[in-house]
Amino acid sequence: MAPATTAKPSDSGRPVRAPGGMAATPLTESECGTLGGSVKTNITACLSGKACQTTGEDKQVHAVCISKQ
C-alpha cells in the first residue's frame, strides 16, 4: 500500500484575492446609498454605530461599517 499523501484542493470555494494591492477605503453614508445599500444604525460591531447593508445578486446580505463622515 502506498503512503498517504496530501494535496491542496483545486477549488477551495473561497474567493481569490485580486492582484494589484487593492486596499479598503472608508465608506460614507452617501456612498452607501449610491451603491444601492441602506444605512443601519445602532450597530455595536462598528465604531461609528452605523453599517451599510446591501443584498447581492445571489440574495446574500452584506454589511460594511460606515467609517467616514
Residues in the chain: 69
Residue 63 and residue 51 in contact, taking contact as beta carbons nearer than 8 Å:
yes
Q: Which residue shows C-alpha cell 453599517?
A: 51
- Residue 37 has a pLDDT of 94
Q: Which residues of 10-43 are buried (b: 16+ CB within 10 A; e: fewer)?
A: eeeeeeeeeeeeeeeeebebeebeeeebeeeeeb
- Report the predicted TM-score, pTM, of the whole model to 2 decimal places: 0.62
| pLDDT, tens digit (0-9, with 9 covering 90-100), for 3-59 | 555 555 555 566 566 566 666 778 899 999 998 999 999 999 999 999 999 998 999
| pLDDT, tens digit (0-9, with 9 covering 90-100), for 56-69 | 899 999 999 998 77
Residues 36 and 10: their CA atoms lie apart, in Å, by 34
